[in-house]
Structure 1
Amino acid sequence: MGCTSRYLGPPGTADSVPCSVRLMSADGLRSPAIRHFLDRPRFATIATTDPSGAPFTAVVWYSLGESTITINSSEGRRWPANLRRDPRISLTVEQGYDYVTVLGRVTIDDDQERAQRNMAEITARYITKPDALAARLEDFKKQQRIMIEIHPHAVLAHGVPAEKRSEERT
């Protein structure tokens, strides 16, 4: 017996679907159900590896590309330094017990024009009031930013409907 998705609706309703943890290839980011889940401006938790081998986690904003996820940071933080040394990353976006985890490697772009443009795009997902957005972007312009693109090799999902079920709902 499977679980019932808390993401789509309460158990026993037309919006609840059976769920389990599914491991998909990197193409999992192209799944309409996964994209629908990730398109919402939720926080993501990333995990990197410290020099000692211990995991290090941080909460980040992100943007969803066609086959990648992009995050952004100010230079000098611990987790970007970890990624420069070891480009492996795990990113999880959750809503209660429902989640999508992306496992992959990163490329880092230090170009300030691209990094600032990317930060503006990401920030606009999370801050929708024009005055607050403008103020935050002014703060970011004073920082040395880096753009980090995650290239997935696997996607795990729990509570996000399977492709076939998602297509049946439309």
Structure 2
Amino acid sequence: MPALEGAARAIVADKNYAHLAVPREDGSILSVVIWSDVDSDGNVIVNSAEGRTWPKLLRKAGRATLSWANASNPYEFVSVTAKLVGDDNTNADAGIDALAKKYMDADVYPGHTDTETRVQFTLEPERITHRA
């Protein structure tokens, strides 16, 4: 499988917002804007709370398409079609804190609550498109 490398990896690793798209039950597409990062293996890391719609749909589909526009040059973008390879509640709180540091420069995610359980997903790229 291809890994995110070079300029494509840099766009995902930067503070650019991801658009994650997954199919709904009726065949239409749900697209959400989320925080993301890339791990040392070139996989995409995303985080959410249990009970939300897109994590349920991601689990059912087993894959998603994500895209990022470079905030410095929106004509440069990365698109990744990826399969779900990790679904973890164990380190998800630390994961959302790391994303809050990246996107908000906050040491702790300010939206933490005792009533929600965080989940972190790992998505392995199957197809990567980078256009500059």
What is the SS of the residue equivalent to 1:122? helix
TM-score (ref. length: structure 2) = 0.87
TM-score (ref. length: structure 1) = 0.69
Q: Identify the residue that residue 162 of structure 1 maps to in structure 2.
A: none
Q: Identify the residue that residue 118 of structure 1 maps to in structure 2.
A: 95
More strand by share: 2
Cα shift at 1:145:
0.7
Q: Which has the larger radius of gyration?
A: 1
Q: Note the residue ranges of structure 1 that are not aligned, 5 or more in a row.
A: 1-24, 160-170
Size of the aligned set, in residue pairs, is: 127
Counterpart amino acid of 2:80? V
State the identity as a percent: 22
Q: Identify the residue that residue 146 of structure 1 maps to in structure 2.
A: 119
What is the 5 A alignment of 1:71-150? Answer: 71-95=46-70, 96-111=74-89, 113-128=90-105, 130=106, 133-134=107-108, 136=110, 139-142=111-114, 143-150=116-123
Q: Note the residue ranges of structure 2 that are not aligned, 5 or more in a row.
A: none
d(CA) in 1 for partners of 2:129 and 2:29? 19
Q: Identify the residue that residue 2 of structure 2 maps to in structure 1.
A: 26
Runs (4 or more) in structure 1 with deviation over 6 Å come to none
Q: In 2 relative to 1, CA 110–65 (structure 1 residues): closer, same or farther, beyond 3 Å?
A: closer
Aligned-residue Cα RMSD (Å) equals 1.7
Cα shift at 1:107:
3.1
